[in-house]
Amino acid sequence: MRLRAIRPRPADRRPAAPSGPASDQPSGPRPDRRRKRSRTLAPPAAVARLLAPAGRLLAPLAAVLAPYARKLKPVYPRPGRTGWRRWLPSWRQWLGGTLGAIGLTGVFLVIAYATTDIPQNLNSYATQQDNVYFWSDGTPMARTGWVQRQAMPLKDIPPDVRWAVLAAENETFYSDPGISFKGLTRALWRTVGEGDTEGGSTITQQYVKNVYLNQNRTVTRKFTEAMIALKLDNKMSKDKILEGYLNTSWFGRGTYGIQRAAQAYYGKDVDQLNASQAAFLASLLKGAGLYDPTLSKANHQRAVERWNWILDRMVKIGKLSARERATYTTFPEPLKTNPLYDTGQQSDYLVELASQYAKKAAHLSDKDFDLGGFQIYTTFDRKREETLTKAVTDAREQAKSAEPGLAKSAHYGAASVATDGRILAVYGGPDHRTQGYNESNAATVPAGSAFQPFVYAAGLQHGVVKKRDAPRVRITPDTVYDGDDGVPVTTPEGPYWDRSGRKVAAHNDGGKDWGKIPLRTALARSVNTPFMQLGMDTGLDKVKQTAVACGLLASSIGPQVPALSLGSSTPSAIRMASGYATFAADGMHTEPYSVHRITRNGSQVRLDASPARRAVDAPVARQVTEALTAASRPAPPPAAPAGAPVAGKAGTTEDDTAAWYAGTAESVSTAVVVYRMDLAKSLEPLPLKGLAGTAAHSVPYTIWSGAMAPLG
Return the HEC string of 480-540: EEECCCCCECEECCEECECCCCCECECCCHHHCCCCEEEHHHHHHHCCHHHHHHHHHHHCH
Residues in a beta bridge with 670: 416, 663
Residues in a beta bridge with 148: 255
Question: What pLDDT digit, counting tens, does each position of 478-493 carry?
Answer: 999 999 999 999 998 8
Q: What pLDDT sits at residue 390?
A: 94
CA–CA dist 525, 533 (Å, integer): 16
Label the pairing between strands 603-605 and 595-600: antiparallel
Task: List, edge to edge, every strand of the sheet that includes 423-427.
Answer: 423-427, 410-418, 668-676, 658-665, 646-652
Contacts with 625 (C-beta within 8 Å, 6 or more apart), sequence order:
583, 584, 647, 664
**Cα 261-264-270 angle, rounded to 5 deg:** 50
Distance of CA 113 to the CA centre of its chain: 37
Helix, strand or coil, per DSSP, at residue 482 = strand
Where do the structural domains in the chain lie, given as residue ranges? 73-78+85-115, 147-327
Contacts with 34 (C-beta within 8 Å, 6 or more apart), sequence order:
none
Of 3.30.559.30, 3.30.70.1060, 1.10.3810.10, 1.10.510.10, the CATH number of 147-327 is 1.10.3810.10
Q: What are phi and psi of 399, to 5 degrees?
A: -65, -40
Helix, strand or coil, per DSSP, at residue 530 = helix
CA–CA dist 504, 538 (Å, integer): 17
For the chain, list residues with pLDDT below 70. Answer: 1-51, 54-55, 57, 68-78, 86, 90-93, 104-128, 145-148, 177-200, 210-227, 229-234, 340-344, 633-644, 710-712
Contacts with 218 (C-beta within 8 Å, 6 or more apart), sequence order:
197
Q: What pLDDT sits at residue 341?
A: 58
Nearest to 552 by CA among 535, 572, 526, 523: 572
Amino acid code (one letter) for 613: R
Label the pairing between strands 374-378 and 131-134: parallel
Contact assessment for residue 413 and residue 445, using Cβ atoms and an 8 Å cutoff: no
Cis peptide bond upstream of 645, omega within 30: no
CA–CA dist 690, 702 (Å, integer): 15
Contacts with 435 (C-beta within 8 Å, 6 or more apart), sequence order:
429
Amino acid code (one letter) for 702: T
CA–CA dist 368, 124 (Å, integer): 11
CA–CA dist 521, 539 (Å, integer): 21
CA–CA dist 410, 223 (Å, integer): 63
Amino acid code (one letter) for 165: V
Label the pairing between strands 374-378 and 255-256: unpaired
> Hey, how many other C-beta atoms are within 10 angstroms of the C-beta on 570?
21
Helix, strand or coil, per DSSP, at residue 595 = strand
Classify each residue of 588-609 as buried b or exposed e, where b means 16 or more C-beta atoms within 10 Å of its C-beta.
bbbebbbbeebebeeeebebee
For the chain, the straight-line distance linking the first and the last C-alpha, in angstroms and rounded, comes to 153
Contacts with 262 (C-beta within 8 Å, 6 or more apart), sequence order:
268, 269, 270, 272, 273, 277, 281
CA–CA dist 707, 425 (Å, integer): 9
Helix, strand or coil, per DSSP, at residue 427 = strand
Q: What pLDDT sits at residue 639?
A: 45
Nearest to 663 by CA among 648, 641, 650: 648
Question: What pLDDT digit, counting tens, does each position of 215-267 carry?
Answer: 445 555 566 666 676 666 667 788 988 998 898 888 888 788 898 899 889 98
Q: What pLDDT sits at residue 369?
A: 84
CA–CA dist 113, 135 (Å, integer): 51
* Helical (H) or strand (E) element with 81: none
Model-wide pTM > 0.85:
no
Between the alpha carbon of residue 712 and those of residues 332, 425, 634, the distances in Å are 46, 17, 16
Contact assessment for residue 257 and residue 251, using Cβ atoms and an 8 Å cutoff: yes
Rg (CA), the chain: 43
